């Protein structure tokens, strides 16, 4: 739909000006004409009765304070609650549905739908991020506010929820609210429903061509080089990084001159403790592994609910690549050294976060 365009939501606008506060008025008993004092009625030589609006001093306090006229302020009338907020949200929601039904929205060449991601998909992921996993984010200031950058993170958890949580962390905590474009495995794009949702969220195939195009456009790209080796490793090897492939992500960053930002994720390893792997079922279903956990498949669908662990995501200091010559992307020793540097930085941060963690769930 090349001719489609994005129509932004209507801005929230106030339906009226600020409520005017009525002027304060004194009570009738406290007003005087021409500065004359109010007349008093003598009761006896020691006491006099005050007029309405004046306060009679308490016994024993006559020397401490003079008679003071009380100012009675009239309370301003209660203003009805503004109804514009609800009406505006309803109008915005209806406008969103109209654009979806008529196709009056825009996606990029990779299928990324920014409007659907911001208004719907992020709203669905945010409660899991904030209330279930209670993710704590550190070092988000290391992500540049503009221009291309490559975020490299560890991968774990049996199911790739860590990538989604990292995506929410960047969008919600970065001052520029940047979108993270994740590179995903081939399997993601052959599964029904998952394929469409991944494309809408901005994910694309984990290949050098797509990554270079995104970085050249100034996008923030995320990659997890461990792949299925990290995602499906047994629980006994938790937080031990697997091999980072051939270092293709380093070559991509060198060609575009974009910084590499190491990212360490703690908490994902324990959501599905993988105590076994049924290779027979994995071959029958075409999966790289079939996990066996303390709850799955023994509890059926309930076994698919992840454990509510406490997560920490830390973004490390950027590793610059713009100082290398163009031919550096073809230097195998340089790629090996940079890959090892990124891997060691992620592993060191993982150990540090594990030492600081009080509990898996708190």
Other CB atoms within 10 Å distance of the CB of residue 217: 12
285 lies in some domain:
no
Measure the N-to-C terminal CA separation of the chain; round to a whole number of Å.
47
- pTM for this model (two decimals): 0.75
Looking at the structure of the chain, the number of domains it has is 1
Per residue of the chain (362 residues), what is the pLDDT tens digit? 444 444 344 444 433 443 444 444 443 444 444 444 444 444 444 444 444 444 444 444 444 444 444 444 455 555 444 456 888 888 888 888 888 888 888 999 999 999 999 999 999 999 999 999 999 999 999 999 999 999 999 999 999 999 999 999 999 999 999 999 999 999 999 999 999 999 999 999 999 999 999 999 999 999 999 999 999 999 999 999 999 977 889 999 999 999 999 999 999 999 999 999 999 999 999 999 999 999 999 999 999 999 999 999 999 999 999 999 988 999 999 999 999 999 999 999 999 999 999 999 98
249 lies in some domain:
yes
12 lies in some domain:
no
- CA 268 – CA 312 distance, rounded (Å): 9
37 lies in some domain:
no
154 lies in some domain:
yes
CATH number at residue 172: 3.40.1130.10
29 lies in some domain:
no
SS3 content of the chain, % helix, strand, coil (to 5): 40, 10, 50
Q: Which domain holds residue 245?
A: 112-271+306-356
- CA 218 – CA 13 distance, rounded (Å): 33
203 lies in some domain:
yes
């Amino acid at each position: 739909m090349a001719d489609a365009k994005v129509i932004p939501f209507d801005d929230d606008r106030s339906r009226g000006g600020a409520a005017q506060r009525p002027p304060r008025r004194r009570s009738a008993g406290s007003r005087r004409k021409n500065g004359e004092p109010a007349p008093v009625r003598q009761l006896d030589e020691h006491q006099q009765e005050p007029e309405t609006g004046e306060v009679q001093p308490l016994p024993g306090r006559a020397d401490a304070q003079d008679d003071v006229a009380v100012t009675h302020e009239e309370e301003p009338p209660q203003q009805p609650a503004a109804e514009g907020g609800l009406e505006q949200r309803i109008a915005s929601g209806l406008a969103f549905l109209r654009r979806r039904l008529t196709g009056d929205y825009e996606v990029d060449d990779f299928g990324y739908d920014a409007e659907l991601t911001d208004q719907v998909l992020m709203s669905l992921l945010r409660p899991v991020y904030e209330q279930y996993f209670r993710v704590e984010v550190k070092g988000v200031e290391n992500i540049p506010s503009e221009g291309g950058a490559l975020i490299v993170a560890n991968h774990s958890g049996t199911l790739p929820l860590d990538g989604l949580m990292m995506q929410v962390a960047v969008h919600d905590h970065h001052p520029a609210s940047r979108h993270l474009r994740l590179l995903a495995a081939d399997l993601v794009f052959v599964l029904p429903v998952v394929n469409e949702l991944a494309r809408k969220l901005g994910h694309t195939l984990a290949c050098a061509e797509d990554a270079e195009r995104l970085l050249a456009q100034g996008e923030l790209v995320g990659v997890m080089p461990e792949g299925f080796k990290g995602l499906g490793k047994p629980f006994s090897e938790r937080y031990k990084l697997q091999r980072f492939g051939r270092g293709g992500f380093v070559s991509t960053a060198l060609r575009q001159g974009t910084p590499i930002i190491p990212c360490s994720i703690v908490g994902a390893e324990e959501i599905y403790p993988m105590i076994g792997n049924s290779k027979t079922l994995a071959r029958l279903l075409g999966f790289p592994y079939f996990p066996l956990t303390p709850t799955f498949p023994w509890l059926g669908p309930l076994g698919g609910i992840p454990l509510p662990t406490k997560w920490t995501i830390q973004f490390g200091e950027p590793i610059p690549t713009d100082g290398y010559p163009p031919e550096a992307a073809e230097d195998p020793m340089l790629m090996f050294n940079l890959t090892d540097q990124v891997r060691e930085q992620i592993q060191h941060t993982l150990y540090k976060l594990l030492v600081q963690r009080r509990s898996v769930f708190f």
